[in-house]
Structure 1
Amino acid sequence: MIFRVLGPQPGARKPATLLAVLLLHANAWVSLDELIEHIWQEQDVPPSAGHNVRTYVWQWRRALPPGRIDTRSRTYRLRVEPGDTDADVARDLLDRAARGPAAQAVEPLTAALDLWRGRPFAELRHEVAAPEAARLDDLRWEVRERLADAWTALGRHGEAIAVLRALIAEDPLREGAWARLVRALSRAGRRANALVEYRRVCDLLAAELGVAPGPELLRARREVAA
Protein backbone atom coordinates (compact mmCIF):
# COMPACT_ATOMS: atom_id res chain seq x y z
CA MET A 1 0.00 0.00 0.00
CA ILE A 2 1.48 3.33 -1.07
CA PHE A 3 -0.05 6.45 0.44
CA ARG A 4 0.18 9.59 -1.67
CA VAL A 5 1.48 12.71 0.06
CA LEU A 6 3.28 14.28 -2.93
CA GLY A 7 0.14 15.83 -4.33
CA PRO A 8 -3.63 15.70 -3.92
CA GLN A 9 -5.35 12.64 -2.51
CA PRO A 10 -7.72 10.82 -4.86
CA GLY A 11 -11.46 11.06 -4.44
CA ALA A 12 -13.89 13.54 -2.95
CA ARG A 13 -12.45 16.52 -1.09
CA LYS A 14 -13.65 15.90 2.46
CA PRO A 15 -12.63 12.21 2.73
CA ALA A 16 -9.37 13.12 0.99
CA THR A 17 -8.73 15.86 3.54
CA LEU A 18 -9.34 13.44 6.38
CA LEU A 19 -6.76 11.04 4.96
CA ALA A 20 -4.29 13.90 4.43
CA VAL A 21 -4.62 14.95 8.09
CA LEU A 22 -4.08 11.39 9.29
CA LEU A 23 -1.04 11.05 7.01
CA LEU A 24 0.41 14.33 8.24
CA HIS A 25 0.15 12.92 11.78
CA ALA A 26 0.97 9.33 10.82
CA ASN A 27 0.97 6.87 13.75
CA ALA A 28 -0.30 9.58 16.13
CA TRP A 29 -3.78 10.03 17.51
CA VAL A 30 -5.85 12.82 15.95
CA SER A 31 -8.98 14.06 17.69
CA LEU A 32 -12.38 14.23 16.07
CA ASP A 33 -12.45 17.99 16.73
CA GLU A 34 -9.15 18.47 14.90
CA LEU A 35 -10.37 16.46 11.93
CA ILE A 36 -13.54 18.54 11.77
CA GLU A 37 -11.51 21.76 11.89
CA HIS A 38 -9.32 20.68 8.96
CA ILE A 39 -12.09 19.17 6.86
CA TRP A 40 -14.44 22.15 7.03
CA GLN A 41 -11.69 24.82 7.34
CA GLU A 42 -13.37 28.21 6.74
CA GLN A 43 -16.80 26.72 6.14
CA ASP A 44 -19.62 26.56 8.65
CA VAL A 45 -19.46 23.24 10.47
CA PRO A 46 -22.74 21.36 10.03
CA PRO A 47 -24.45 19.59 12.96
CA SER A 48 -23.75 16.30 11.16
CA ALA A 49 -19.95 16.86 11.08
CA GLY A 50 -19.11 14.20 13.64
CA HIS A 51 -21.29 11.64 11.88
CA ASN A 52 -19.78 12.61 8.52
CA VAL A 53 -16.23 12.11 9.83
CA ARG A 54 -17.16 8.66 11.09
CA THR A 55 -18.57 7.89 7.63
CA TYR A 56 -15.33 9.02 5.96
CA VAL A 57 -13.32 6.85 8.35
CA TRP A 58 -15.56 3.89 7.53
CA GLN A 59 -15.04 4.52 3.80
CA TRP A 60 -11.27 4.57 4.22
CA ARG A 61 -11.37 1.42 6.35
CA ARG A 62 -13.04 -0.33 3.44
CA ALA A 63 -10.52 1.02 0.94
CA LEU A 64 -7.33 0.38 2.95
CA PRO A 65 -5.83 -2.93 4.12
CA PRO A 66 -7.24 -4.19 7.43
CA GLY A 67 -5.88 -2.70 10.63
CA ARG A 68 -4.65 0.56 9.17
CA ILE A 69 -7.02 2.90 11.04
CA ASP A 70 -7.39 2.64 14.82
CA THR A 71 -10.21 4.24 16.76
CA ARG A 72 -10.69 5.12 20.39
CA SER A 73 -12.87 7.68 22.13
CA ARG A 74 -13.25 10.53 19.59
CA THR A 75 -9.76 10.00 18.18
CA TYR A 76 -8.28 8.20 15.18
CA ARG A 77 -4.85 6.95 14.15
CA LEU A 78 -3.50 5.86 10.76
CA ARG A 79 -0.78 3.21 10.92
CA VAL A 80 2.00 3.94 8.41
CA GLU A 81 5.13 1.81 8.09
CA PRO A 82 8.48 2.85 6.54
CA GLY A 83 8.16 2.65 2.76
CA ASP A 84 4.38 3.15 2.81
CA THR A 85 4.34 6.64 1.25
CA ASP A 86 5.36 7.94 -2.14
CA ALA A 87 7.80 10.24 -0.30
CA ASP A 88 9.51 7.14 1.13
CA VAL A 89 9.71 5.66 -2.36
CA ALA A 90 11.27 8.90 -3.66
CA ARG A 91 13.91 8.82 -0.89
CA ASP A 92 14.70 5.18 -1.68
CA LEU A 93 15.12 6.01 -5.38
CA LEU A 94 17.40 8.93 -4.49
CA ASP A 95 19.53 6.63 -2.32
CA ARG A 96 19.66 4.04 -5.10
CA ALA A 97 20.86 6.68 -7.55
CA ALA A 98 23.57 7.80 -5.13
CA ARG A 99 24.93 4.27 -4.75
CA GLY A 100 25.43 3.62 -8.46
CA PRO A 101 27.30 5.18 -11.37
CA ALA A 102 25.96 8.27 -13.11
CA ALA A 103 24.94 6.25 -16.15
CA GLN A 104 22.45 4.38 -13.96
CA ALA A 105 21.25 7.34 -11.89
CA VAL A 106 18.98 9.03 -14.43
CA GLU A 107 16.30 6.34 -14.39
CA PRO A 108 15.68 6.22 -10.59
CA LEU A 109 15.92 10.01 -10.28
CA THR A 110 13.42 10.52 -13.10
CA ALA A 111 11.14 7.94 -11.50
CA ALA A 112 11.40 9.81 -8.19
CA LEU A 113 10.42 13.12 -9.80
CA ASP A 114 7.44 11.48 -11.48
CA LEU A 115 5.99 10.76 -8.03
CA TRP A 116 5.24 14.45 -7.47
CA ARG A 117 1.73 15.27 -8.66
CA GLY A 118 1.39 18.71 -7.11
CA ARG A 119 1.80 20.43 -3.76
CA PRO A 120 2.37 17.99 -0.87
CA PHE A 121 -0.66 17.71 1.42
CA ALA A 122 -2.56 19.86 -1.05
CA GLU A 123 -5.88 19.48 0.81
CA LEU A 124 -4.58 21.21 3.95
CA ARG A 125 -4.07 24.89 4.67
CA HIS A 126 -0.54 26.02 3.92
CA GLU A 127 0.34 26.85 7.50
CA VAL A 128 -0.86 23.45 8.73
CA ALA A 129 1.37 21.37 6.50
CA ALA A 130 4.18 23.90 6.00
CA PRO A 131 6.99 22.15 7.97
CA GLU A 132 6.47 18.75 6.36
CA ALA A 133 5.78 20.27 2.93
CA ALA A 134 9.06 22.20 3.19
CA ARG A 135 10.96 18.96 3.91
CA LEU A 136 9.36 17.34 0.88
CA ASP A 137 10.15 20.36 -1.27
CA ASP A 138 13.78 20.04 -0.17
CA LEU A 139 13.70 16.36 -1.14
CA ARG A 140 12.41 17.25 -4.62
CA TRP A 141 15.07 19.93 -4.95
CA GLU A 142 17.81 17.41 -4.07
CA VAL A 143 16.45 14.90 -6.59
CA ARG A 144 16.55 17.55 -9.32
CA GLU A 145 20.08 18.66 -8.42
CA ARG A 146 21.25 15.05 -8.49
CA LEU A 147 19.55 14.57 -11.84
CA ALA A 148 21.45 17.57 -13.19
CA ASP A 149 24.66 16.01 -11.85
CA ALA A 150 23.85 12.76 -13.62
CA TRP A 151 23.13 14.52 -16.94
CA THR A 152 26.39 16.47 -16.61
CA ALA A 153 28.39 13.32 -15.87
CA LEU A 154 26.90 11.69 -18.97
CA GLY A 155 27.79 14.67 -21.15
CA ARG A 156 24.10 15.50 -21.61
CA HIS A 157 24.75 19.16 -20.83
CA GLY A 158 21.60 20.53 -22.44
CA GLU A 159 19.42 18.44 -20.13
CA ALA A 160 21.49 19.42 -17.10
CA ILE A 161 21.35 23.12 -17.94
CA ALA A 162 17.57 23.00 -18.43
CA VAL A 163 17.06 21.41 -14.99
CA LEU A 164 19.38 23.92 -13.32
CA ARG A 165 17.82 26.98 -14.94
CA ALA A 166 14.42 25.80 -13.73
CA LEU A 167 15.78 25.43 -10.20
CA ILE A 168 17.35 28.89 -10.26
CA ALA A 169 14.11 30.41 -11.51
CA GLU A 170 12.31 28.90 -8.50
CA ASP A 171 14.86 29.94 -5.89
CA PRO A 172 17.64 32.20 -7.21
CA LEU A 173 19.43 32.46 -3.85
CA ARG A 174 20.45 28.79 -3.57
CA GLU A 175 24.13 28.68 -4.47
CA GLY A 176 24.26 24.95 -5.20
CA ALA A 177 22.18 25.21 -8.36
CA TRP A 178 24.28 28.15 -9.59
CA ALA A 179 27.52 26.25 -8.97
CA ARG A 180 26.19 23.29 -10.93
CA LEU A 181 25.09 25.59 -13.75
CA VAL A 182 28.57 27.16 -13.96
CA ARG A 183 30.13 23.68 -14.15
CA ALA A 184 27.63 22.39 -16.71
CA LEU A 185 28.16 25.38 -19.00
CA SER A 186 31.92 25.07 -18.71
CA ARG A 187 31.89 21.35 -19.47
CA ALA A 188 29.62 22.01 -22.43
CA GLY A 189 32.38 24.20 -23.88
CA ARG A 190 30.58 27.43 -23.01
CA ARG A 191 33.23 28.92 -20.72
CA ALA A 192 32.25 32.53 -21.44
CA ASN A 193 28.63 31.79 -20.52
CA ALA A 194 29.79 30.05 -17.34
CA LEU A 195 31.70 33.18 -16.29
CA VAL A 196 28.72 35.38 -17.08
CA GLU A 197 26.50 33.24 -14.84
CA TYR A 198 29.13 33.30 -12.10
CA ARG A 199 29.20 37.09 -12.16
CA ARG A 200 25.40 37.18 -12.16
CA VAL A 201 25.11 35.12 -9.00
CA CYS A 202 27.87 37.09 -7.30
CA ASP A 203 26.00 40.31 -8.01
CA LEU A 204 22.73 38.77 -6.86
CA LEU A 205 24.16 37.50 -3.57
CA ALA A 206 25.77 40.85 -2.86
CA ALA A 207 22.59 42.80 -3.65
CA GLU A 208 20.08 40.55 -1.92
CA LEU A 209 22.03 39.10 1.01
CA GLY A 210 25.15 41.23 1.28
CA VAL A 211 27.40 38.16 1.08
CA ALA A 212 30.24 36.92 -1.10
CA PRO A 213 30.02 33.59 -2.97
CA GLY A 214 30.47 30.52 -0.80
CA PRO A 215 32.94 27.63 -1.12
CA GLU A 216 30.93 25.64 -3.66
CA LEU A 217 30.60 28.56 -6.06
CA LEU A 218 34.29 29.41 -5.64
CA ARG A 219 35.25 25.82 -6.48
CA ALA A 220 33.07 25.96 -9.60
CA ARG A 221 34.78 29.21 -10.62
CA ARG A 222 38.21 27.65 -10.19
CA GLU A 223 37.15 24.70 -12.34
CA VAL A 224 36.19 27.09 -15.13
CA ALA A 225 39.60 28.74 -14.93
CA ALA A 226 41.52 25.44 -14.81
Structure 2
Amino acid sequence: MRFNLLGQFEIVTRDGRPYFLSRSKVSQLLGLLLLLNGETVSADTMIQELWGENVPRSALTTLQTYIYHARKIFAGLPDGEAVLVTRPTGYVIQVPDENIDVALFGHHVRQARSLLDDGSPEQALTSLDQAFELWRGPVLAGMRTGTVLAGHLTYIDELRYTATDLHVEASKRLGRYREIIPRLRLMVAENPLNESFHAQLIKALHKCGRRAEALQAYRNLWRILDVELGVEPAPELQLLQHQLLARRIVHERS
Protein backbone atom coordinates (compact mmCIF):
# COMPACT_ATOMS: atom_id res chain seq x y z
CA MET A 1 0.00 0.00 0.00
CA ARG A 2 1.33 3.41 -0.99
CA PHE A 3 0.32 6.83 0.29
CA ASN A 4 0.49 9.86 -2.00
CA LEU A 5 0.33 13.21 -0.24
CA LEU A 6 1.90 15.31 -3.00
CA GLY A 7 -1.18 16.65 -4.77
CA GLN A 8 -4.58 15.18 -3.95
CA PHE A 9 -4.42 12.75 -1.05
CA GLU A 10 -4.72 9.17 -2.27
CA ILE A 11 -3.98 5.64 -1.19
CA VAL A 12 -2.78 3.22 -3.86
CA THR A 13 -3.46 -0.44 -3.19
CA ARG A 14 -1.01 -3.20 -3.96
CA ASP A 15 -2.72 -3.94 -7.28
CA GLY A 16 -2.28 -0.30 -8.37
CA ARG A 17 -5.83 0.95 -7.77
CA PRO A 18 -6.07 4.49 -6.34
CA TYR A 19 -8.40 5.28 -3.47
CA PHE A 20 -9.02 9.02 -3.21
CA LEU A 21 -9.79 10.38 0.24
CA SER A 22 -12.39 13.06 0.82
CA ARG A 23 -11.34 16.45 2.23
CA SER A 24 -12.64 15.61 5.68
CA LYS A 25 -11.20 15.84 9.18
CA VAL A 26 -10.48 12.12 9.01
CA SER A 27 -8.26 12.73 5.98
CA GLN A 28 -6.69 15.72 7.74
CA LEU A 29 -5.87 13.45 10.65
CA LEU A 30 -4.38 10.75 8.42
CA GLY A 31 -2.31 13.35 6.58
CA LEU A 32 -0.76 14.48 9.85
CA LEU A 33 -0.02 10.92 10.98
CA LEU A 34 1.56 10.03 7.62
CA LEU A 35 3.75 13.14 7.56
CA LEU A 36 4.96 12.07 11.01
CA ASN A 37 5.29 8.43 9.98
CA GLY A 38 6.66 6.35 12.82
CA GLU A 39 6.17 9.08 15.43
CA THR A 40 3.51 8.86 18.11
CA VAL A 41 1.19 11.87 17.81
CA SER A 42 -0.57 12.85 21.02
CA ALA A 43 -4.30 13.42 21.26
CA ASP A 44 -3.60 17.03 22.27
CA THR A 45 -1.61 17.63 19.06
CA MET A 46 -4.39 16.11 16.96
CA ILE A 47 -7.01 18.21 18.68
CA GLN A 48 -4.94 21.35 18.11
CA GLU A 49 -4.66 20.49 14.41
CA LEU A 50 -8.37 19.75 13.98
CA TRP A 51 -9.89 22.59 16.00
CA GLY A 52 -7.18 25.13 16.81
CA GLU A 53 -8.39 27.49 19.54
CA ASN A 54 -12.05 26.53 19.11
CA VAL A 55 -11.92 23.17 20.84
CA PRO A 56 -15.37 21.69 21.54
CA ARG A 57 -16.09 19.92 24.82
CA SER A 58 -16.56 16.69 22.92
CA ALA A 59 -13.18 16.96 21.17
CA LEU A 60 -11.63 13.80 22.64
CA THR A 61 -14.70 11.70 21.95
CA THR A 62 -14.97 13.08 18.42
CA LEU A 63 -11.27 12.43 17.83
CA GLN A 64 -11.77 8.79 18.84
CA THR A 65 -14.65 8.60 16.35
CA TYR A 66 -12.37 9.93 13.60
CA ILE A 67 -9.74 7.30 14.49
CA TYR A 68 -12.45 4.64 14.24
CA HIS A 69 -13.43 5.85 10.76
CA ALA A 70 -9.76 5.98 9.71
CA ARG A 71 -9.38 2.33 10.68
CA LYS A 72 -12.51 1.50 8.70
CA ILE A 73 -10.89 3.08 5.61
CA PHE A 74 -7.91 0.76 5.93
CA ALA A 75 -10.06 -2.26 6.70
CA GLY A 76 -12.11 -1.63 3.53
CA LEU A 77 -9.11 -1.74 1.21
CA PRO A 78 -8.14 -5.00 -0.54
CA ASP A 79 -4.73 -5.09 1.10
CA GLY A 80 -5.63 -3.08 4.17
CA GLU A 81 -3.16 -3.47 7.00
CA ALA A 82 -3.29 -2.50 10.64
CA VAL A 83 -1.03 0.50 10.08
CA LEU A 84 -2.81 2.79 12.56
CA VAL A 85 -1.76 1.80 16.04
CA THR A 86 -2.88 3.08 19.44
CA ARG A 87 -0.11 3.89 21.89
CA PRO A 88 -0.41 4.90 25.56
CA THR A 89 0.43 8.51 24.64
CA GLY A 90 -1.40 8.78 21.31
CA TYR A 91 -1.54 7.24 17.85
CA VAL A 92 1.04 6.28 15.23
CA ILE A 93 1.11 5.20 11.60
CA GLN A 94 4.11 3.04 10.85
CA VAL A 95 4.85 2.09 7.24
CA PRO A 96 8.11 1.97 5.24
CA ASP A 97 9.21 5.46 4.15
CA GLU A 98 9.39 4.32 0.53
CA ASN A 99 5.61 3.81 0.65
CA ILE A 100 4.98 7.52 1.31
CA ASP A 101 5.75 9.88 -1.57
CA VAL A 102 6.68 12.82 0.68
CA ALA A 103 9.24 10.73 2.58
CA LEU A 104 10.61 9.35 -0.70
CA PHE A 105 10.85 12.89 -2.10
CA GLY A 106 12.94 13.95 0.89
CA HIS A 107 15.18 10.89 0.52
CA HIS A 108 15.95 11.71 -3.13
CA VAL A 109 16.73 15.35 -2.29
CA ARG A 110 19.09 14.40 0.55
CA GLN A 111 20.76 11.83 -1.69
CA ALA A 112 21.21 14.44 -4.42
CA ARG A 113 22.84 16.86 -1.98
CA SER A 114 25.28 14.15 -0.87
CA LEU A 115 26.11 13.21 -4.48
CA LEU A 116 26.68 16.84 -5.41
CA ASP A 117 28.95 17.32 -2.40
CA ASP A 118 30.90 14.25 -3.55
CA GLY A 119 31.39 15.74 -7.01
CA SER A 120 28.83 13.62 -8.87
CA PRO A 121 26.44 16.13 -10.52
CA GLU A 122 25.16 13.64 -13.11
CA GLN A 123 24.03 11.18 -10.44
CA ALA A 124 22.63 14.07 -8.39
CA LEU A 125 20.44 15.08 -11.34
CA THR A 126 19.15 11.52 -11.59
CA SER A 127 18.08 11.60 -7.93
CA LEU A 128 16.46 15.02 -8.38
CA ASP A 129 14.58 13.88 -11.47
CA GLN A 130 13.22 10.98 -9.41
CA ALA A 131 12.14 13.45 -6.75
CA PHE A 132 10.39 15.79 -9.20
CA GLU A 133 8.55 12.87 -10.79
CA LEU A 134 6.77 12.39 -7.46
CA TRP A 135 5.57 16.01 -7.28
CA ARG A 136 1.92 15.99 -8.44
CA GLY A 137 1.11 19.30 -6.76
CA PRO A 138 1.03 21.00 -3.34
CA VAL A 139 0.99 18.69 -0.34
CA LEU A 140 -2.55 17.55 0.49
CA ALA A 141 -3.89 19.83 -2.24
CA GLY A 142 -7.26 21.36 -1.47
CA MET A 143 -7.42 19.99 2.06
CA ARG A 144 -8.12 22.25 5.01
CA THR A 145 -5.12 22.32 7.36
CA GLY A 146 -4.57 23.55 10.87
CA THR A 147 -1.51 25.07 12.50
CA VAL A 148 0.29 21.78 13.07
CA LEU A 149 0.00 20.57 9.48
CA ALA A 150 0.74 24.05 8.12
CA GLY A 151 4.21 23.98 9.66
CA HIS A 152 5.03 20.63 8.06
CA LEU A 153 3.68 21.76 4.69
CA THR A 154 5.91 24.83 4.79
CA TYR A 155 8.91 22.60 5.43
CA ILE A 156 8.07 20.45 2.39
CA ASP A 157 7.68 23.55 0.21
CA GLU A 158 11.14 24.66 1.36
CA LEU A 159 12.47 21.21 0.53
CA ARG A 160 11.16 21.62 -3.01
CA TYR A 161 12.97 24.97 -3.27
CA THR A 162 16.13 23.23 -2.08
CA ALA A 163 15.65 20.56 -4.74
CA THR A 164 15.36 23.27 -7.40
CA ASP A 165 18.54 24.99 -6.16
CA LEU A 166 20.39 21.66 -6.23
CA HIS A 167 19.08 20.94 -9.74
CA VAL A 168 20.30 24.33 -10.93
CA GLU A 169 23.71 23.85 -9.33
CA ALA A 170 24.17 20.33 -10.75
CA SER A 171 23.10 21.50 -14.22
CA LYS A 172 25.48 24.47 -14.07
CA ARG A 173 28.40 22.19 -13.24
CA LEU A 174 27.54 20.17 -16.34
CA GLY A 175 27.04 23.28 -18.47
CA ARG A 176 23.36 22.49 -19.06
CA TYR A 177 21.93 25.97 -18.63
CA ARG A 178 19.26 25.57 -21.30
CA GLU A 179 17.70 22.59 -19.50
CA ILE A 180 17.02 24.48 -16.27
CA ILE A 181 15.21 27.44 -17.81
CA PRO A 182 11.70 25.84 -17.94
CA ARG A 183 11.88 24.78 -14.28
CA LEU A 184 13.12 28.23 -13.22
CA ARG A 185 10.30 29.92 -15.14
CA LEU A 186 7.84 27.73 -13.27
CA MET A 187 9.38 28.55 -9.88
CA VAL A 188 9.39 32.29 -10.69
CA ALA A 189 5.71 32.10 -11.63
CA GLU A 190 4.86 30.27 -8.41
CA ASN A 191 7.10 32.46 -6.20
CA PRO A 192 7.16 35.93 -7.79
CA LEU A 193 8.78 37.56 -4.74
CA ASN A 194 11.65 35.08 -4.52
CA GLU A 195 14.61 37.05 -5.90
CA SER A 196 16.84 33.97 -5.86
CA PHE A 197 14.77 32.21 -8.51
CA HIS A 198 14.64 35.37 -10.62
CA ALA A 199 18.42 35.70 -10.36
CA GLN A 200 18.99 32.10 -11.40
CA LEU A 201 16.65 32.53 -14.38
CA ILE A 202 18.35 35.74 -15.52
CA LYS A 203 21.80 34.13 -15.25
CA ALA A 204 20.69 31.00 -17.11
CA LEU A 205 19.19 33.04 -19.94
CA HIS A 206 22.36 35.10 -20.13
CA LYS A 207 24.55 31.97 -20.25
CA CYS A 208 22.46 30.71 -23.18
CA GLY A 209 23.06 33.96 -25.07
CA ARG A 210 19.46 35.11 -24.63
CA ARG A 211 20.28 38.64 -23.41
CA ALA A 212 17.00 40.21 -24.47
CA GLU A 213 15.03 37.61 -22.50
CA ALA A 214 17.36 38.03 -19.54
CA LEU A 215 16.78 41.78 -19.53
CA GLN A 216 13.03 41.24 -19.81
CA ALA A 217 13.18 38.84 -16.87
CA TYR A 218 14.95 41.56 -14.86
CA ARG A 219 12.31 44.15 -15.83
CA ASN A 220 9.58 41.72 -14.75
CA LEU A 221 11.24 41.34 -11.35
CA TRP A 222 11.70 45.10 -10.98
CA ARG A 223 8.00 45.65 -11.75
CA ILE A 224 6.85 42.99 -9.27
CA LEU A 225 9.01 44.30 -6.43
CA ASP A 226 8.04 47.91 -7.12
CA VAL A 227 4.30 47.18 -7.14
CA GLU A 228 4.19 44.65 -4.31
CA LEU A 229 6.86 45.96 -1.91
CA GLY A 230 8.00 49.35 -3.19
CA VAL A 231 11.64 48.22 -3.32
CA GLU A 232 14.28 47.64 -6.00
CA PRO A 233 16.04 44.37 -6.82
CA ALA A 234 19.07 43.41 -4.74
CA PRO A 235 22.41 45.09 -5.63
CA GLU A 236 23.69 41.81 -7.10
CA LEU A 237 20.82 41.77 -9.59
CA GLN A 238 21.21 45.45 -10.43
CA LEU A 239 24.88 44.83 -11.19
CA LEU A 240 23.91 41.89 -13.41
CA GLN A 241 21.47 44.12 -15.30
CA HIS A 242 24.20 46.74 -15.89
CA GLN A 243 26.51 44.02 -17.22
CA LEU A 244 23.80 42.76 -19.58
CA LEU A 245 23.10 46.28 -20.85
CA ALA A 246 26.80 46.99 -21.36
CA ARG A 247 27.29 43.79 -23.34
CA ARG A 248 24.22 44.50 -25.46
CA ILE A 249 25.61 47.95 -26.35
CA VAL A 250 28.99 46.42 -27.24
CA HIS A 251 27.23 43.76 -29.34
CA GLU A 252 25.14 46.37 -31.18
CA ARG A 253 28.21 48.49 -31.97
CA SER A 254 30.27 45.61 -33.26
Question: With structure 1 as the length reference, what TM-score do the two structures score?
Answer: 0.71
Match of 1:41 in 2: none
Match of 1:23 in 2: 34
Contact 2:29 2:50 in 1 (8 A): no
Question: CA shift at 1:177, angstroms?
Answer: 1.0
Match of 1:212 in 2: 232
Spell out, residue by residue over 1:171-200, the C-alpha distance to the aligned partner (whole angstroms, 9 max, x if none): 211111111111111110122332232233
Match of 2:181 in 1: 161
Question: CA shift at 1:214, angstroms?
Answer: 1.6
* Structure 1: runs of 5 or more not aligned: 39-44
* Structure 2: runs of 5 or more not aligned: 12-18, 52-58, 248-254
1:107-146 mapped onto 2 (5 Å cutoff): 107-122=126-141, 124-128=143-147, 129-146=149-166
Aligned length, in residue pairs: 216
Q: Name the SS for the 1:206 alignment partner.
A: helix
Contact 1:106 1:151 in 2 (8 A): yes
Distance 1:33 1:157, change over 3 A: closer
Q: Name the SS for the 2:122 alignment partner.
A: helix
Q: Moved runs in structure 1, 4+ residues, more than 6 A? A: 80-84
Contact 1:21 1:124 in 2 (8 A): no
Question: With structure 2 as the length reference, what TM-score do the two structures score?
Answer: 0.65
- RMSD, matched Cα: 4.0
**In the aligned structure 2, how far is the partner of 1:76 from the partner of 1:127?**
18
Question: CA shift at 1:64, angstroms?
Answer: 5.6
Distance 1:9 1:97, change over 3 A: farther
The amino acid across from 1:69 in the alignment is V
**In the aligned structure 2, how far is the partner of 1:217 from the partner of 1:147?**
21
Task: Please point out which of 111, 119, 135 is paired with 1:93.
Answer: 111
1:1-226 mapped onto 2 (5 Å cutoff): 4-7=4-7, 8-10=9-11, 11=19, 13=21, 16-24=27-35, 26-30=39-43, 34=47, 50=64, 53-54=67-68, 56-57=70-71, 63=81, 69-72=85-88, 75-78=90-93, 85-99=103-117, 100-122=119-141, 124-128=143-147, 129-218=149-238, 220-221=240-241, 224=244
* Comparing 146-155 and 207-216, the one that deviates more: 146-155
